[in-house]
Structure 1
Amino acid sequence: MSELAIHFFFFWVFFSSVITGSAATAGDGAAKTEFDFGTLTLSNLKLLGDAHLNNGSVRLTRDLPVPNSGAGRALYSKPVRFRSPGNSSPATFSTFFSFSVTNLNPSSIGGGLAFLLSPDSDRLGPAGGLLGLSEAAGFLAVEFDTLMDVEFEDINGNHVGVDLNSVVSSQVGDLGAVGVELKSGDLVNAWIDYDGSTRIFNVSVSYSNLKPEDPILSFPLDLDQFVNDFMYVGFSGSTQGSTEIHSVEWWSFTSSFDSSTSPNSGSSPPSSSPPPPPPTTTLMNPSASSANEAKSPPPSLAPSESNSASSTTQKDSKSSSCHNQLCKQGPGAVAGVATAGAFVFALFAGGLIWFYSKKTKRVNSNKSDSFASEIIKMPKEFSYKQLKQATKCFNANRVIGHGAFGTVYKGILPDTGDIIAVKRCSHSGQGNDEFLSELSIIGTLRHRNLVRLQGWCHEKGEILLVYDLMPNGSLDKALFEARTPLPWPHRRKILLGVASALAYLHQECENQVIHRDVKTSNIMLDEGFNARLGDFGLARQVEHDKSPDATAAAGTMGYLAPEYLLTGRASEKSDVFSYGAVVLEVASGRRPIERDANNNNGKIGGGACSNLVEWVWGLHREGQLMAAADARLGGEFDEAEMRRILLVGLACSHPDPLARPAMRGVVQMLNGEAEVPMVPRAKPSTTFSTSDLLMSLQDSVSDCNAMITISTSSSEKSFDGGDIV
C-alpha cells in the first residue's frame, strides 16, 4: 500500500468515527431524494399496465402496428417526502426528462403522457384521453396531450397542462407557441420546478438542451393541498384508439426541504401518521434497493439500543452504537461533535492536500505541461466520472455516431440536465494523435456554423471531447432517414451555412484549416436546422499560402478529390471538391456512392457502383441538369435557384483544382452576389505530372470501377476522377 493510500485510510477511519453520529441525526424532514436514469436499477422502477423497457428507455404504451387503447405507468418505487412535520413549507423539487411521441401510423393519433405525483404505486387509471390518471385516487400531473378532446376542455392537440386531481387542466400552454410539436417524433426536453418557499410552479419545454429563459407555464401553487406526506413520482401515458408510442429517454429528479425551515433533529413524526420507509438519499448505490421492502417503523419510537437498527436502516451498522450514545447526550453534544468533526476535517484535509501536491508536483509537471499546451484554450475540463455517468458508463445504447478515430455518445449531465455529445477516442496510438489534433484545432475556432466544443477530459489514459448535441441530428439522416423530405428552404440554408464555415476555415483563421472530411454525416443540424460542421479528427492546420505536405489520403470515397487520391496532398481545393459532392447530394437526394442503383436507365455510369458527381456531369452534358433535382420535393422549389445550386456543385467538383472557386466566392454565389462561373457541358479531364504521383492507388481507391489511362505523353498520366468512387 502506498504512503498516500495509508494516509487516506487513517484519515477516513478517523473522520468517519467523528461524523457518523451527527450524520445519523438528520431528521426525516431534511430528507433529500435524488436519482436519474444513470443510477436507477430495475428494483428502483415499478412498471404498471403497458409500460415496459426498451433499449435503455421506458415506454409507457405498447408498440403495436394496429390502433389500440391502453395505458401504462412507470414510477420510482420509493415514496418521496413532500411534506414534513414541523416544516411550514412543502418540498422543493425539480425534474428534467427527455421524451418522444412517435407513431407507427401518422394518421392515428390520440393520448399522450404525463409526469405524475401519485399517492399510491399500484393504481393505474383508464386509457384513452385520461392518460392513465385516476381521479379517484387524487394526483398532480403535468400532461403532454396529443389529442384535442372537447370533453376535457383541451385547447388543441399539442399542449401542456397542469392537472390537479382532475384531467381538466387548471393551467394550459400551447406548445406551438414555443415551436414544439409533440407528434413530430423528435426528442422533447421538459423541466418542471417547484419552489417550496415561494410556492411557484414552473414548466419549461424545448427541443434544445438549453433550458428556456422563460417557462411556458409559471404560476403560484400551494402544493400542500394536493400532496400527502409521501407521494410516488413517475410517468403515465395512454393511447386512444391509436398507434402512438410514448418513450421516456432520460429522467432525473431531486427534491429537498429548505434547511432554514427544517425541523429539529430530535423531532419525530406524529403518532397518527406512521411514515413509510424513508425516501433515501442520492442513489449512488443501486444495489441497496432491497430497503424498499422494509416495513414501516412504529410511530413515535425514540431511538434506543433495541430499535436503533430499524430507525437507521440507511446507515452503516458499524455506526449505530455511536449514534445511540450521541442521541442520549442530546442535540448539544451532536452539534459539538459535528462542529469539531468539521474543524478537524478541514485541518486534516488541508494538510493532506498540501503534502500530496508538494510530493507529486515534480513528478507530474512534465506530463501536465505537455498536455496543457494542447488544451490551454479549451473552455472547460470535465472529469471522467462526470462523463461516464452522463453516458451511462458509455452504454452502447447511447452511441449516436462514429467519427474519425472515435465513437460519439449521447450524454446528459446529471448536475444541469444539459444534453451533450461525448466523443471517445479509439484506444490506439493513431486515435490519440488524431484526438489531440482535433482538440488543438477546434479549441481555437469560433464560428456559428461549427459545432461548439464545450470541453474536454484527459483521464485514465483516455481523451474525451464534449460538444453541444445537435437536436436534429446529422444532415445525412435528415436527407435519407426522415419520414418526410427535408424542405428545400432548409437545404438551401444548410448549404450556405457549410460554405460559410469552410470560408472561415480556409481564409479567416490565423492558420488555414483543411478539414479533409467534409460530408453530410459530419454536418450537424441544430434546433433551427442551421448547419454545424463537425468532426475535426482528420483536420490539418497549415500556414496560409504554404504548400501542404503529402500524407496518406484519408476521408470517405465519393467525397475525395481526384488529385488528393493521387498525391496525398490535401488542400483547401480538395475541401471544395468535397463540398461540391455535398451540394449535389443535398440537391438530388442521392448518396455520393450508390450500389446496385438504377443509373438513369443505364445512360450514365455502370457496374455495381454509381458515382453521384459523374451522374450529374452526365445529365449536364445531355442538357438535362434539372433532372438531378430530388423528385421527393415534388417540384416545391424555385427552379432558377435549383439550377444555380446544381451548377455551383459542378463548379466545385471540377476535376482541375485550379478551376474550382474559393469558398468565399461560393458564399457569394449562393447569396446571388456573384455569378456562377461557366461550367462546361462535357466534364474536363486533368493531367498530373508523374512526379506528383506520390502514393499507390491500392490504398486509396475502392473496388468500384477504378481506372487510370495512360496518355500519349510518357511524362504525364491522364486521370478521369469519375471512375474512382
Structure 2
Amino acid sequence: MTPRNLLAVALFLLLFTPPRTQSIGFDFNSFNIRNLTLLGDSHFRDGVIGLTKELGVPSSSAGAVIYNHPIGLYDADTNITASFSTRFSFSITNTNPTFSGDGLSFFLSPDNRTLGSPGGYLGLVNSSRLVNKFVAVEFDTRLDSVFNDPNDHHVGFDIESLVSIKTADPASQELNLKSGESITAWIEYKNEECRLRVFLSNSSLKPSEALLDVNIDLSSYLKEVMYVGFSGSTEGSTDLYLIESWSFHTSGFVPARRRFKPHNVSDSSVIDSPNISISDSGNGYHSRLGLGLGIAGPAFFCAVIAVFGFFSLRKWRKIRTQKSFKAELLTGPREFSYRELKRATKGFHSSRIIGNGAFGTVYKAFCTSSGGISAVKRSKHSHEGKTEFLAELTIIARLRHKNLVQLQGWCVEKGELLLVYEFMLNGSLDKLLYQESVEASLLNWSHRYNIAVGLASVLTYLHQECEQQVIHRDIKTGNVLLDANFNARLGDFGLAKLMDHDKSPVSTLTAGTMGYLAPEYLQYGKATEKTDVFSYGVVMLEVACGRRPIEREAGTQKMVNLVDWVWGLHSQGKIIEAADKRLNGEFKEEEMRKLLLVGLSCANPDSSVRPSMRKVLQILNNETEPVFVPKLKPSLTFSCGFSLTVDDIIVEEGGGEWESAKATTIQID
C-alpha cells in the first residue's frame, strides 16, 4: 500500500468511524435555567419548578418544562430500543379546595416546542388537535368524563391520547396526590420485558410493589431521539404543581460500532511477520533510526491531519454560515414545501387573503395532508422583508406560551419567504372591536377582560421570563389574534428584538404604528420593555372604550388622541363614561374602572412611572392594588430646538404601519 493510500485509510479511520453511543442520564437535585426549557406558565422558584401559577378562581394555567437535549432511545442499525427509568419528587397544593385542578404528567415526545391546552388536556395536547405524539404517565386530580377518567384521583398510562390505557388509584397504597406533601415517583420501562411500572411513595424509599404495572411494547413509539419533561394544567382552579427533583437514565442501549474492513480480508485472516535476523553491529544505528521514525512519523501524520482539518473547518464554517438558519430550525417547526403551501392557498389567490401588513400578506390555507386550517404569511421580497422574516422565525420559534400564536412551520423556496401559523378562528382584535357590520356579534365584557389578562400574561413572559428578553415593538389590536374561545394570542414578531436582561437598549430606527408609540421611543428610538408597556396601555383603552388610538372627531377635522380623551374624563371624575357605549352598561363597573386606570398608568408619558407587565398582571388578577394615576396627565418635554404636539406627528388616520427616522423634538402635553 502506497504512503498516500495508507494516509487516506488512516484519515478515514480517524474521521469517519462513528463513536460508540453510550447510555445517558442526568440528575437534578435542584433546577436552573441552563439545561431546561420552560413553556407557558412554568417557572423557577427557589430551585423548584412550578408548572402552573397561583391565579385567582376562575383562572386557568398551563405549563411545561422540557430537558433541552434529546435523549437517544432507539438505534436503527442494531434495531435496539433503550430501557429507561426516571425518579422525581413532586407536590400538588390546592390553595382553594373548592376548585380542584386537573393534574400533571411526565412525558416523552419527539416535539420539544408544543404546549398543550389547560384544563383536562394537562398542558400535554392541544384542545383543537387531540392527536399528538407522546408517551406519558399522568397524575390526574380531576374527573373528566371526556377522557373516560375513573375518578378524580388516579395515575394513568397514556399513549398519544389522554384516554389512559390503564389506571390505578394511589389511595390503594394510602397516598393522597392532593395532600400538598412531597411525593416521589419512580417510572421504569424494561424493553426486554415489554413492561412499564410506576411506583409512588411519601418517602425516598422505593416501595417493593408497583402502583401501576403495564405490559406494553414501546419500541414503535420511542423514536431515535425523544424529549422528556413534565406538563401540568388547571382550569378554574388554583392548584400549584411543583417538581422538586428529577433524574433520568437509559440502559441497554449500546449500538455496535462499525469496523473498517479492508477489501478481500476476512475476519479470521492473520498476517504473519517473518523472523528477520539483525546483526549486533547494526543494532545501535537501527535503534536510533527507529526512534527517529517513531517520533517523526506521528508528528508528520499529525501535521497532515492539522492542515486537512484547518481547510475542512474553513469550508465547513462557510457552509454553516450559509445554511445556519435552516439547520437551526430542523429540530423545531416543520419545513413545508412550496408546492404544498401553494396548493393550500389556491396559488396564493386573492380570495384567500385574510390580512395585510407592511412586510407581507396572510393567506388562509387548507392543508390536505393534515386536514387542518392554517394561516400562511408571505413576506415581501425586499431586504426589509427578509430581515423581518428571519427575525420573526428565529424569535417565535423558541418561544412557547398559551397566549402566543403557535408557529407550525416555514418554507424558503423559489425566492419565497413563508411562515405557517395556527389559524385563529376569530381573527384579529381590531376587526372585532371595530366591526362595520351591525349584525356581527359584539365582543362582550367577559371576553374583553380575559383578553387584557392574557395579553398581560404573555408580555410578562416575553419581558421577564424568557432566557433573553423579547421586546415586541409593535403591540396593537391588529397583532392580537383571537382563538375559538376568544383567548388573546399575540402575533407578528417582525419588528421584535432580542435583548439580554442586563443590557441597555440600543437606539434603532423608530418603527411601529402611530398611536401606539411611546413618546421617548419617538424621540430617542430606544425600544425597551416600557415602550411595549405604553403600547399595551393604548390597547387596553381601546378594549375598554371601543375607540381607536387616534380618531377624527365627529363633524370636525380635529384629531382626538384616545389617551388624552380618557385622561380628561379621569380628571373630571367621570372615567367610567369612557366605557364602550355599545356594551349598554353590561359590564362589571369595578373591572371597567380598573382596566381604564391600568391603561392610563401604562400610557403615562413618563416611562419611569409605568408599571411592569408583571405588576399589571397582578393588578388584573386582584393580587395587588392598582397603581396611583394622577388626575392631570403628566407633561413630558424633550428640550431642544422646537416642539411638536401629537397632532403634528400624525401621519395617517386610524394607525397604519409607520417608519421614520428619530423625531427631532417632541412635547407631550
Output the TM-score relative to the length of structure 2: 0.49
More helix by share: 1
